[in-house]
């Protein structure tokens, strides 16, 4: 589950400042003319690695936990959002597809970030599938997978912003994994859903640049692909999302959608080292905030306890940098975490809706 509301709301705030997530561009709950995710998807790659303009929102979302030769930890984020005003494409400025890029680099003491906006149709941003290439401005995610291999199995990722830059090679050591029912990921009891798959098995190497200083790094990366046309249920106003790589080779994707009226909605995917998945239903995951920090003037829970009794999991997460705030058009918290407890590991945490 990723920040589809981010895309909408961020662009909405161009128009009217911090607006409600639902209010942008006249998009209510109806899905005028847009396609709607349906169960039992039949993905077609590499085409489905590309954009789906008939759906309202879509993203290519990479996070990675990194380490340099001296053992210093880093986290990076590379995101390309697509948001459609109409379910079509067109040449030139008439293209109703809008694009937004977020990039970030965090250390234990600093958090760098940048944001880019673009319109489709003029070449400033977009996604091509053969060969695979996603870009906005000079930020890019380019496939250099060998013929026959999945296009996302080998990527070169680069971005730069004020004070930071990175250029990383990502090599997949496992297959794509599909969340929910074969990639049909339900978001609320009312039937809100998205298409959602990941590549959680990246080995990462390359260099980051911090204030002009280049540092060689290695680590693990995770890519999310998700698209849909339906926003959240009207009463859902934020979420807490985890992607964790355990030292033993298992992976976990887990999220909670906070509902201000009814019970929260949870979902998780347990991923074995070979890519075998188990989708865990609503209620299987228990999330407890342990500690709040003052972030950008508001309290944000930065340490968590995650319990998944079905898998004997009881862990605590600690942020690499509690101030991993993304003060973008639509602000949210996104940062690397370390995991201790029944299982140890590293991962990424995203929290939205802490206004």
Q: Which residues bind another protein (CB under 8 A)?
A: 11, 14-17, 25-26, 85, 92-94, 96, 98, 117-119, 122-124, 135, 137-138, 160
Beta carbons of 239 and 226 less than 8 angstroms apart:
no
Q: Which is nearer to another protein, 39 or 92 (CB)?
A: 92
- Whether residue 195 contacts residue 219, with contact meaning beta carbons closer than 8 Å, is answered with no
Residue 88 Cβ vs another protein, minimum distance, rounded to whole Å: 10
CB of 208 to another protein, least distance (A): 17
| Residue nearer to another protein on the CB measure, 114 or 259 | 114
CB of 93 to another protein, least distance (A): 3
Kindly give, in sequence order, each residue whose CB lies less than 8 Å from that of residue 224, ignoring residues fewer than 6 positions away: 2, 59, 60, 61, 62, 196, 197, 198, 243
3 versus 10: smaller Cβ distance to another protein? 10
Cβ closest to another protein, residue 98 vs residue 245: 98
Q: Least distance in Å: CB of 117 to another protein?
A: 4
Are 170 and 28 contacting, i.e. CB atoms less than 8 angstroms apart? no
Q: Considering the complex, what minimum distance in angstroms separates the CB of residue 92 from another protein? A: 6
* 10/300 with CB nearer another protein: 10
Q: Which is nearer to another protein, 96 or 341 (CB)?
A: 96
201-223: buried (b, 16+ CB within 10 Å) or exposed (e) per residue?
bbebebebebeeeebebebbbbb
Burial, 150: exposed, middle or buried (Cβ in 10 Å; 0-12, 13-18, 19+)? middle
The residue assigned the tokens 């959608």 is: 257
CB of 115 to another protein, least distance (A): 11
Please identify which residue in the block is written with the tokens 């680099």.
105
Residue 99 Cβ, how far from another protein at the closest point, in Å? 9
Contacting residues for 189 by C-beta, under 8 A, at least 6 apart = 265, 282
H helix runs in 33-148, sequence order = none
Give backbone dihedrals phi and psi of 309, rounded to 5 degrees, phi first: -55, -35
Is the dihedral angle over the CA atoms 33, 38, 178, 304 positive or is it negative?
Answer: positive
Q: Which residue, 135 or 241, has its beta carbon nearer to another protein? A: 135
Total count of residues recorded for the chain: 355
Largest CA distance in the chain: 54
CB of 25 to another protein, least distance (A): 4
What Cα–Cα distance (Å) separates residue 338 from each residue in 59, 219, 305, 349?
Answer: 25, 13, 12, 10
CB-nearer residue toward another protein: 133 or 286: 133
**Closer Cβ to another protein, 263 or 327, answer by number:** 327
Least spacing, CB of residue 236 vs another protein, in Å:
23
């Amino acid at each position: 589950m990723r920040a589809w509301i981010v895309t909408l709301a961020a662009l909405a705030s161009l128009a009217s400042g911090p607006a409600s997530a639902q209010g942008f561009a006249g998009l209510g709950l109806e899905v005028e003319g847009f396609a709607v995710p349906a169960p039992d998807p039949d993905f077609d790659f590499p085409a489905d690695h590309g954009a789906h303009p008939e759906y309202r929102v879509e993203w290519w979302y990479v996070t990675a936990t990194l380490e340099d030769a001296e053992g210093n930890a880093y986290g990076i984020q590379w995101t390309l959002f697509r948001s459609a005003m109409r379910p079509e494409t067109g040449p030139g400025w008439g293209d109703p597809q809008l694009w937004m890029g977020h990039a970030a680099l965090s250390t234990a003491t600093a958090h760098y970030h940048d944001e880019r906006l673009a319109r489709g149709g003029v070449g400033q941003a977009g996604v091509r599938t053969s060969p695979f290439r996603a870009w906005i401005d000079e930020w890019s995610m380019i496939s250099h997978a060998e013929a026959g291999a999945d296009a996302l199995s080998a990527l070169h990722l680069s971005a730069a912003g004020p004070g930071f830059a990175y250029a990383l090679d990502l090599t997949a050591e496992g297959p794509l994994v599909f969340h929910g029912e074969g990639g049909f990921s339900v978001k609320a009891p009312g039937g809100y859903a998205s298409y959602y798959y990941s590549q959680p098995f990246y080995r990462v190497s390359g260099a980051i640049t911090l204030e002009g200083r280049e540092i060689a790094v290695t680590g693990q990366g995770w890519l999310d692909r998700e698209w849909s046309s339906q926003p959240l249920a009207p009463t859902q106003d934020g979420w807490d999302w985890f992607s964790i790589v355990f030292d033993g080779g298992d992976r976990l994707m887990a999220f909670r959608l906070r509902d201000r009226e009814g019970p929260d909605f949870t979902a998780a995917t347990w991923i074995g080292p070979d890519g075998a998945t188990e989708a865990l239903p609503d209620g299987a995951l228990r999330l407890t905030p342990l500690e709040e920090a003052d972030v950008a003037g508001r309290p944000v829970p930065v340490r968590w306890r995650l319990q998944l009794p079905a898998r004997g999991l009881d862990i605590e997460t600690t942020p690499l940098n509690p101030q991993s705030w993304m003060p973008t058009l639509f602000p949210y918290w996104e940062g690397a975490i370390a995991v201790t407890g029944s299982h140890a590991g590293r991962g990424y945490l995203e929290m939205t809706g802490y206004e």
